[in-house]
Structure formats: structure tokens, C-alpha cells
Structure 1
Amino acid sequence: MYKQLASPTTIRVLHVYPAPETDPLICSLEHCDIDSDPEYEAISYVWGDSDLAWSVICDSNVIPVTRSLHEALLRIRLPDQRRTVWIDGLCINQIDAIEKSHQVQLMQRVYRNAYRVLVWLGPDLHGDARDAFDVCFTLGQRDMNAEELRISLTNINLRMDTSYVMWYSFRALCEFALAKDLLFLWGAEEIPWIYINMAVSNLQETDVMWRFTPYKSTLLEPISRLSAIKDQRCYATSFMGTIHTARAFGCSDSRDRIFAILGLECGDDRWAAADPAGQSLAEATIPDYTLPVEHVYRQFAIRALQRGLTEDIFLAVQHGEQLEEWQPGDMPSWSPHWDLPLVNNFPFCHRLHEICKFPGLSVESGISFTGCGSELLSMLRTYLDPLAIDTLNVLSATLDTIVALSDTMEFVQFRLPGTILESFWEEHIRPREADPGYEAVMTDLCETATYYMTSENHVSAFYTISQHPWERSPAAIAEYAKYGEYAMLRSIAQLLLETSEIASVGNPALLDKEKGEHGYFKRFYITQQGYVGMCPAAAQPGDHVALLWNTDCPMILRPQDGFYRIVGGSYMAAVNRKEMEGIPHPLDDLLSGGLQPEVIQIR
């Protein structure tokens, strides 16, 4: 059925012929040059089950398709006139990897040139579409203040969770960002994007939704991410931020986590960062669907490292609850698994002295590759075989070693002082109460608990972790220091009284919300010298906290047989402090020259 495309700018569009709702789908493909501005609508949908159990009649051929594609075409078919659309499942020959690789490079133009993108959310299985879209129409008419929003929410039935899977479609992220106009279709109902966008904006700009229906607030998160991308806010201005955002979305082909994002216009210089030959990362990343997923991921990491994007790659490293020992042939720990959601995100939380980034060193002297045959490979080489590289040689300075960790924090557990945080304090910090550095350690714990969001660390911790609308006054804190339920909070309250560190916090409820999100799938740790921080769930006692070349964020490294593996980024509160009473500053030795950085091997 598929004829060879005539030129590098040739695409196929699908003509869907009119028919009653119950008739078979009949359509035809037409070749056209995208430079000639053909008129069509593009369809965005979730591939779903890959089982080709349904069919359409295309150019007199019976073509097997997925259920999702079949349902989408049935929904957009008109009863009285032909409709011309572009839909990847039929307009691209999916079994021709070479054609697919080339057509993916045109997809940004396909979605940008379409006069409208139709977003198919799926069948309305439970009859919720009308209510959900009515909510969007009600809340999306105009900007609302908090009181108007509260009244509206008491008068409507908020149901937006049935099509949760669609919001987590990775392809949707790219397609939304490029579209001129968006129309959402759910069952028989439809709504323009402008109403959804305004409704989400109203809900996100106040704390009414969190207070009124906290259990539903997470349902808005994927929609708000798409809104940020579409409006070129937040993640859309950062190349790596966009890739990280994409990790929260479903994807039928994991290679698209790199390839499909090539068409997005990210507004930072890192995307255009060039290698010594002058080739940007975007230009060097050519879609090739003949390559296995691991090859694509490692190749992308190598090319980013060649361009000095060290911190972007190292902070993207994500493992599950365990990091297995490395064996020859395994994917190296420094190559991110882009298909794992990024829950251990620690950027922008440290203010390290520039000397800690080992300035004055080029990419070539700060980091290099070693091949499987122990050959040292130059970073300046234009081509490096990804599967022949397993070792990074990186300049590093070890700050300390982890001696104990809390249990892994789940979303709710982080905000309950009687569980993980309280137990960690009771076992590993309270025994230091008589030590000269106890106040400094408690300060670290408080800052870590509030995750660097405010300079009023003890006060923030007291209100945030307590998860209670305490009266914000010295008298209330003094009362809790004597009679409070939790020993850890009593200790914090006592420190507040002793250090006169009582201050108001703008909105404890909002801080509390943020803490649950930041703490998810992380663990508190304490080091040999008493530094407290937060790290990925995969960390374990004996792991090192180290600074690597060209990074601001301390990394967790695991020693193994003369080399290291990257566990992930971390937050060490003490690094941000100018001085610590009773405890040496973790950067003292490095800044004084007592600690000299050395080249280590990472696999």
C-alpha cells in the first residue's frame, strides 16, 4: 500500500470519507509536499494497546490498526463531507524504520503547519465528559479570584480523572507545544484548549484547589505541565527541563523520548551547545529507529558530555530503589535511563563557590572517556561508538561518606513527623544532643526538611512538618516546646526559643504542599562528620558525597572494585552555609587546598 515518498519534504495525508457512524472506515492516502502548505488537521492520540485487532479500508486495502487509532478516526469522521487529517499510525509506514526516522524529523512541521490539532482523549466510558468539560467552561471563562473560585468549586462536580492516561502521553507534550489551535475530543463531547488552559490557570494560581479538594490536586499536575509547555513557560524555556518533563509522560517507543523532542524550540543555549567541530547537540542527534533504546540513550549522553553538559547529564541519572553492581556489558550508571520518571531532582538548590567547579579546565582535561578495551578516547573526536564506551574519567573531590539513612519517603509519609523523619531524628540525630555541633546538625535537618525553600529554616520546619495551623507566635512555640506531641518538634521549638529565631512564615499550608512533592522517593542521610542531606532512594551507607567536574550539585557515588557508579544527585544543607558552629564546613579542605581533586573512573 505504501509508495515511496518522492522527496525529503513529502508527507502523506489521510482522506477520511463520509459515512454513517456504523459504517466501516474508508479512506485514502495522498502524497503532498509540506512546503506547499497542504490543508489538513493533525490527530493527537494515545497509541494504547499495540494489538492490531481493528481495521480500516485504505486505498481498497484492508489495513490492521490499533483500537485507539480506529476509535479516533471514527470520532472525527463526518457524516456528509470528506475530512483530511494527518495521523502517524497510517501516514507513516511504521514497519519501515528508515522512513520513520526521516518522517519524525518532519513532525515538528507537520504539527506546526496543521490548521488545527484534534486531541482524542478516548471514549467516554462512564459518562463523565459533559461534566468535566462543563467544569472547564465554567472555570475557564475568565480570571477568577480565590473567593469566586471557591464558590464555583462548591457548586460543581469536579471530575477530570477518567482520561488521566492522555495527559501522560509523551507525544502529546510535543504536539501541544507545536499546535496553532487545539480541540479536545472526549467521547461525543469537545472543548477548545483555551478553556482548559484558563481553568487550570485559575486553579494553579491560588491555594483553593489544594485546600478544597487536596486528593484531586495531583490530577491537575500533568495538565499544568502541558500548559506550561504550550505557553512557553517554565520547562519550555529549558532544553533539559523539557526532557525531564517528558519523563513523567507515557511513551509507546522509548526512543521518542529523545527523537520526538528535537522539534521543540527550547529557549536556552544548551540545546545549541556545539562540539569542537561546531555541530550543535540538535544537529548531532539524528533519529534512527534501527538503533536499540540503550544505544540511543548512551549516544545522547556522550554527545551532551562532549559539549560540556556535565551537570545536565549527571543530575538526570535515575535508578529505582536499588543500584545493582555493574558488570561488563551493562549500561553504565552515568547514562540516564530517560524512560524512568525523574523523582530525584536536585538542581538549583546549591550556591557553591566557583572554585568547587574546578574552573579553568576544558572539557578535555575535566572529563574523558575510556573504551571497553581500556583505550583512552578523546572527548574531541567527532564520532564515538556509544557501545564501545563504558567508563568516564572525571575530576572529583569527595566531601564525606554516608553512615546512615532514613527509610524511603512516600508522598504522604514525608509530611508526617511521627513516621520517617521523626524516626531518623530519634535514631541518628538526637544522640548528638550534647555535642557542640548539635545546633548545626539540627539546622541542617530543618533546612533539608523544608528543602531550601526559605531562609527561616527552623520556623519553616516547625510549621511545615507539624502539618497543623499553629498560632505563629513565641507563646505558641514555647507551649509546644513543653507539651508538644512529637519530640523532634519539641526540640526544634526549643531551639527557636534559645536562638530567638522566631519569625513568620507567609503560608505554611503551601510550604506543606511543596514538601510532599519534593520529598517523594528520597531519603534523609547523615555523614561521618554530621552533615545532613537528602538523596535518592537507591543510596546506602558507605556511599560518598562528592563534587564532580563542572557541577554545582554534590553527587552520590558508590565505590566498586576501584571505580565508582553514580547513584544520583543530592542536597547537602551545610554546603550552603558560610560557617557552622561546632562542625567544620564541608568545603573547608577543598577551598584551603588540603583536599586535592583527583580523576576517578565512573561506570
Structure 2
Amino acid sequence: MDSYCYVPFEDEPGCDRFRVVTIFPGASDQAIQCTLEHVALGKSPDYEALSYVWGNPEDKADIFCNGRRLQVTADLHAALHHIRPLGSEPRRIWADAICINQRDNDERGRQVRRMREIYPKASRVLIWLGEAHDGSDEGLEAAREIAQACRQYAAERGDLKTISFSDGRASRLFGKFRDPSQFTRLEAFYRVIRRTWFTRVWVIQELALAAEATILCGNTVMDWKDLMDAITAQDHLNLHLADHERNAYIFILQKAREEWAQGMKLGLLSVLFRYRIFDSTDPRDKIFGLSSLARGKLADIQALQADYNIGTLQLYCTIAEEILKESRTLHLLSVPRRFVGIGPQHLPSWVPDWTNTRLTACLGLLNYSDINDLGFAATRASKAQIRFDDATSSLAVEGHIVDRIQAVGSVLKVEEVPRTNFREVRIPKCSYVLDNWLRVAEVKQEEPYITGEPIRDAFAQTLVTESTSESIETLRAQLDILESYASIARWLGSFSERKPPDTLVQQAVTAMHTALFHNTTDQLTLYFRIHMSSLADRRVFRTERGYIGLAAALAEAGEEVVVVKGGNVPLVLRPKGEAWTLQGDYYVRGIMQGEAYDGERCELMRIS
């Protein structure tokens, strides 16, 4: 049988047409039959939009479109099988791999730009998580029960974001999920949350723009709101296997949905920064897949118009240059740098690698926060002076060296923190590197810190990048709690390959926790925990002059602490011939409000 051949769209300016696929009823053992038709945005029939993961592009299956064979990925084929109607009425949907001619880069670019109109017009978005496996039916049934308990709790108590087992209503409604008999179901729910769909960049706009959203997993159907309620309760109540890093992806998705509905306007840098942890098969889609969510001066620039004839390197450089020109700030240089894995080749160090998907916050910020709200003024009210050298792909700035790094601590890599579930005991992740960091900062020395405050106080402020309004007495108490947890982490870290059975580890951790916190609180305050988000992928350091602070993972002893005119935070720069390479940004206790900045010392510095 002949393969399906796409009918091209009209080539005139202002063409607003797109394709809708009509799926005809059929039994599960029958081939999928459908038709494709061109429709105008303003006159389209009712349709649903499909959001799914492409999967392995080499794993293909056949459907029949207008009587001809059309190959689609196996994951899409499975989704079509499940949403195909069984009765007599056909079903209209929009699915990118069918409705866009993927072999035509020009059409692909034009239709991708049209997705910001296609998704809102759909009656609802169907989110296909994949076939039922690994107990997904059981896991989603547990999620339904948690969501039902959430509705009761919300009706009686209010906001789920403050839910805690210290509340008697929460214990009554959710208490059964603390019983080990429920752990198998919660483990199955955990595996559902870890499915690939939740980490893909395209799903952000697909969900944000959706009028309604429904989860499909095998034959199980669930409303998006119910799933969100279940994940919120699971996360805040620290139920069995609650994965707070993984849940962060889902909270970010929901945040995008809420903000779009509220009409919030985010600039291009804010959008790219917030959603950088999501992944894509094509690295250019880390820009194109988010362009619909950007508003403001850069929302309509040519570089944002999906064009698959442009290379990744050129696209990333052009976007970085446009952001720096428009903002006249250096916030772009605070986007976390890649320190593991491989990114686009020959990317200048000042250009963010948007393929880097690590969950790393800017200094003093939550992952949800806006990178343009950096609360520091390391060069006071100075204005950035930037120039671009196209011949060398370098960025010229003006700045001066403040100090040099003398010693660095271990990098806090969240993925290397033990994931054993301790039920009621939540060990802060920085506890696993705290001993090392205390030594590097020389917290036990008797002399005061360079600012005149006790060095222990300076260290506590460093852990939260002085971004909390809590009293120093509270911060001291928080550091005491962390040191107690560090003793548990030290014990857990003592095992190499031969670790005791989990039940014995659980009992030991519970006993140690009881002994350490007998008659004292073990609770870190909300704002302390929030601002510790900046610690992931960072390391404590000490300078030659005695400053301590947080540096990016790439920072090493011997590298320079530099303040750049117009920069809110100091930068880590490494000499490279007559130029410098950017290693990341710094928090340095005592110079974040311009105390070390001297405009007269500034000289031209070229970052390549």
C-alpha cells in the first residue's frame, strides 16, 4: 500500500489553517483508520489535543490515513488505540506527529508557532502517560483516594499547602497511608510520577494552554486537578517514597498553568530559566517549545520563531545576545552552568546551555522564582557595560578581581544523597556535606569573621544566602538542628557496599533521631528550608582574605572572585589566555551589597 503524502498548506501570508485527524471507531485488534483535513483556526470543528511523549523514534507502527499507510511512533500508536472510539461516532483530535508534516522543516516551524492557538481551542487536552504497567492502575487508585481525602480536608480545613500530620484532621483523613500495608500502592504511585511525560519541555505549554486536562494511563482516566491534589498531599505529608525533587517538576507544571490562566506576563529569560529542567529530543525545542509562554519585548523577535533550519549553537548564542541587549543587566550570567554531561559543542561560556536539566536554583531563589528578582547589589547601582565580539563569540564586560578562592568543599549533588525512606524522619540533604563544609569554612576558629560577626553566624547566613528575614537566634538554632542531622548522615555514609537491611537501618535512624532530639525540636523552619534550595549543585568555599560563601560546582581553588559592573552577584572567572571563562556565580558573605566594589578599578574583561 502507498504511503500517505501530505497535502501542503497554502503558501500565502496569514494562512491560519492546521490539520485535524478524525479517528474512526474500531475494535482493539483492528488497524487504526483515520482521515486528515485542513481547517481554519476560526472555523475548526470540536477537537481534543493529545499530549504525549514521542518515545523511541525508531520504534514505529502503522496507521491508515485517508486509506494510505502512515508510520507513527509506538507510543503514539498506543495512545490512539486507547482513545479510539468503540461506538459509532468518530473522534477528532490534534496530535503533532500526525497533523504536522515532520519532514518539512518550513511547515514544521510554522505549525509549531501555531500551537499557542491550537491548544487553547481544544475542548480538552488528553495527557497520555503510557500503557498500564508496574502497578500503575493500583497507584492511580491510591492517588484517587488521596485526592478524595484532599477534597474533604479542603472543605473542613482549607489550604493543602499547609497540610501536616500535626493537624488532627489530616491524621484522620490521611492516616491510613502511613500504614506499611499501603506502601505497595504508594510505590506504584511513585512510579507513575516518574514517567517521562512529566519531564518533557513541550508538555509545559500543552498543559498551561489547556482549557481542561485529563490524565490517561492505560485504561485509567483521572482529572489533572485530582492528580495535583494527590501529589501535593503526598509531598507535604512526606508519605512513603515521596520524591520531593521529582515532585518539583509537577509543581512547576501546575505553576505554569495557574500563571497563564491569571494572565501573568513573564519575560523570555524568566521563562527559559524556570523551565530549563525539562528535556527535549531536539535541543532547539528548549527555546521553541517555550516561546508561546514568553511575553514582553522579546516575545516576537525573529529568533523565537520556530525555524528548524537554524543550528543549536547559533540559536542559543542569538537568544543570549538578544536577552543581554534588551535587559541591560547581567542576570543571564546567573543561569546555572553545566558541570556534568555533554552539551552543545563550542558554546561560549557566557551563553547558557539550555540542554542542562539539573534542578539548580539561582542564589537566594526558589526554583519557581524569577531570575530577574536577584536580591543582591554586589556592584551597587552601577550599569552594565557590555559589548559583543562576533569574530571571537566573546562578551566584553567591565569588572575587577576582589579575591581568590583558597579552598573549596564538596559539591552537594542531590542524586548522590541516599534515598532510603525514613518515614517520619526527613534528613536535610545538605547534612551529607555539612561536616566537609564546616571544615572548609573553618567555623571552629575563634577569630570573628571578616565582617566582625561570629564566623558561625556568617556560615548560617551563607546556607540561606542571607535571603531570610529570620532572626540570627533562629538561624543559630537551625544550624544546631542541621549538625544533629549531620551525625545521622555521617552514620549512613559510613556504609560502602555492604549496608544492613532497610528495616534495621530504619530502626537505627529512628533511634538516633529520638536520642538526638529528645525534648527538642527537629523541625527546620519553612523559610530556612526554602532558601536552602540554593545549595544544590554548589559548594562552600573560603578565600585567601577569609571570606566564605557558596560557589558553583565548577569553581576550584585558585580561581578569581570577580565583580562585574552592573552585576547583582559576583562571578567565578577562570583565566583562559587573554580572556576568561565563566564558571558560575558566587554568594560571598560580606560583599553582596557592594562592600568590595570599586568602580575605578574596573577594566575590560573578555568572557569567551
- Provide TM-score, normalisation by structure 1: 0.78
Following superposition, the deviation at residue 535 of structure 1 comes to 1.3
Offset of 1:439 from its aligned partner? 4.8
- Give the 3 Å change call, closer, same or farther, for CA 509–242 of structure 1 in structure 2: same
Residue 392 of structure 1: which of 395, 415, 421 is its match?
395
Is 2:223 the partner of 1:192? yes
Secondary structure of the residue that 1:600 maps to in structure 2? strand
Write out per-residue CA displacement over residues 328-360 of structure 1, whole angstroms, 9 at most, x where no aligned residue: x8221011110102544324566444853423x
1:421: Cα distance to partner? 2.7
Corresponding position of 1:33 = 40
1:46 is displaced (CA, Å) by 0.8
Does residue 115 (structure 1) correspond to residue 139 (structure 2)? The answer is no
- Which range moved further: 454-463 or 161-170? 454-463
Which residue of structure 1 aligns with residue 604 of structure 2?
A: 599
Q: Which residue matches 2:456? A: 442
- 1:248 is aligned to 2:277: yes
Picking from 132, 142, 146, the partner of 1:124 is 132
Deviates more, 1:155-164 or 1:295-304: 155-164
1:260-339 superposed matches below 5 A: 260-264=289-293, 266=294, 271-273=295-297, 282=301, 284-308=303-327, 310-321=329-340, 330-339=346-355
Secondary structure of 1:429's match? coil
Residue 217 of structure 1 is matched in structure 2 by 244
Distance 1:38 1:397, change over 3 A: farther
AA aligned opposite 1:536: A
The question of 1:238 aligning with 2:246 is answered no
User: Residues 247, 561 of structure 1: CA spacing in aligned structure 2 closer, same or farther, 3 A cutoff?
Assistant: same
Q: What one-letter code is carried by the residue in structure 1 that aligns with 2:151?
A: Q
Instruction: Describe the shift of the 1:75–1:236 C-alpha distance in structure 2 as closer, same or farther (beyond 3 A).
Output: farther
233-242 vs 195-204, which deviates more? 233-242
Residue 241 (structure 2) pairs with residue 227 (structure 1): no
Find the aligned partners of 1:463 and 1:528 in 2 and give their Cα distance. Answer: 30
1:313 counterpart SS class: helix
Q: Distance in 1 between the 2:400 and 2:109 partners?
A: 42
What stretches of structure 2 of length at least 5 have no aligned partner?
A: 158-162, 366-373, 419-426, 489-519
Q: What's the offset of the Cα at 1:294?
A: 1.7
Distance (Å, rounded) in 2 between the aligned partners of 1:451 and 1:529: 19
Residue aligning to 1:154: 175
The one-letter amino acid of 1:304's match is I
Query: In the TM superposition, what are the counterparts of 1:35-54 in structure 2 within 5 Å?
Result: 35-54=42-61
Aligned residue for 2:492?
none
Alpha-carbon distance, 1:575 to partner: 2.5
Using the alignment, how far apart are the partners of 2:58 and 2:380 within structure 1?
Answer: 53
Tell me, in whole angstroms, the C-alpha distance in 1 between the residues paired with 2:270 and 2:430: 32
Q: Conserved in 1, the CA contact under 8 Å of 2:563 and 2:597? A: no
Q: Give the letter for the 1:48 counterpart.
A: G
Secondary structure class of the residue paired with 1:4: coil
Equivalent of 1:460, from 470, 478, 486? 478
Identity %, equivalent residues: 21
Q: 1:309 to 1:109 in 2, by over 3 A?
A: farther
- The Cα offsets for residues 408-434 of structure 1, whole Å up to 9 and x where unpaired, read as 113338947885332343355157435
Query: Are the counterparts in 2 of residues 463 and 469 from structure 1 also a CA contact under 8 Å?
Result: no
For residues 550-597 of structure 1, what are the alpha-carbon distances to aligned partners after superposition, in whole Å with 9 as ceiling and x for unaligned?
A: 3212221111112111111222222247xxxxxxxxx44535x6x522
Q: Structure 2 vs 1, CA of residues 49 and 139 (structure 1 numbering), >3 Å: closer, same or farther? A: farther
1:100 paired to 2:128: no
The amino acid of 1:336's aligned partner reads: P
Whether the 8 Å contact between 1:228 and 1:236 is mirrored in structure 2 is no
What residue ranges of structure 1 are gaps of 5+ in the alignment? 275-279, 373-388, 471-503, 578-586
Match of 1:410 in 2: 413
Distance in 2, matches of 1:440 and 1:341, equals 37
Equivalent positions of 1:543-558 (< 5 A) are 543-558=559-574
Q: Which moved more, 1:168-177 or 1:349-358?
A: 349-358
Distance in structure 2 (CA, Å) of the matches to 1:316 and 1:168: 19
Amino acid at match of 2:457: T
After superposing the two structures, state which structure 1 stretch, 192-201 or 72-81, moved more: 192-201
Contact 2:441 2:459 in 1 (8 A): no
Q: Secondary structure at the match of 2:353?
A: coil
Secondary structure of the 1:231 match is helix
Of 112-121 and 213-222, the range deviating more from structure 2 = 213-222
Aligned partner of 2:68 in structure 1 is 61
* Rounded Cα–Cα distance in structure 2 between residues aligned with 1:120 and 1:183: 9
Report the CA distance between 1:135 and its aligned residue. Answer: 2.1
- 1:506 & 1:272 partners in 2: Cα distance? 45
Distance change in 2, residues 1:283/1:463 (3 Å): same
Number of residues paired by the alignment? 521
Q: Secondary structure at the match of 2:7?
A: coil
Which structure 2 residues correspond to residues 335-350 of structure 1 after superposition, within 5 A?
335-348=351-364
Secondary structure of residue in 2 paired with 1:320 = coil
Question: Contact 2:279 / 2:286 at 8 angstroms: preserved in 1?
Answer: no
Structure 1 counterpart of 2:197: 166
Q: Could you tell me how far apart the structure 2 residues matched to 1:543 and 1:33 are?
A: 58
